[in-house]
Amino acid sequence: MVVRELRVAGHDAVHIGEVLRLDAPDVDILEHAAQEARVIVAADTDFGERLAARRAAQPSVVLFHRQTGRRPREQAALLLANLSSVEADLHGGAIVVVEERRVRVRALPITEP
């Protein structure tokens, strides 16, 4: 589990099932994360779309790209290997897309040109 790997590495990580129902709507997860100043880590790209629609600066989201390994240990290792390079972005509000060979950052709030 990604949460376990993040905790082992010393991060204050919480699984959504510890604070909300596992089937909680995305909007509830976004609200909870914003209130708790947490970063959402997910493979569900809907979070990025919902953040863009809300035009909010928080919460930040880390998204694993579809081609990224789906095993939690692989995802955690990839995140931990890149976390220091995106930490400031996450504190400022960002969508971070993690792929096996690159990391993309989009600052929040997302506004149309």
Q: How far apart are CA 89 and CA 20, in angstroms?
A: 26
Give the number of C-alpha atoms closer than 13 A to the C-alpha of residue 17, restricted to the C-beta side.
Answer: 3
pLDDT digits (tens, 9 = 90+) for 60-110: 999 987 766 678 888 999 999 999 999 999 999 999 999 888 999 999 998
Name the pTM for this structure.
0.90
Token pair of 36 as six digits: 């708790």
Query: Is the backbone peptide bond immediately before 25 cis, with ω within 30 degrees of 0?
Result: no
In the sheet where 40-42 sits, what is the strand order?
Answer: 40-42, 61-64, 94-98, 103-107
Q: How far apart are CA 52 and CA 108, in angstroms?
A: 8
pLDDT cut 90: percent of the chain above it = 69
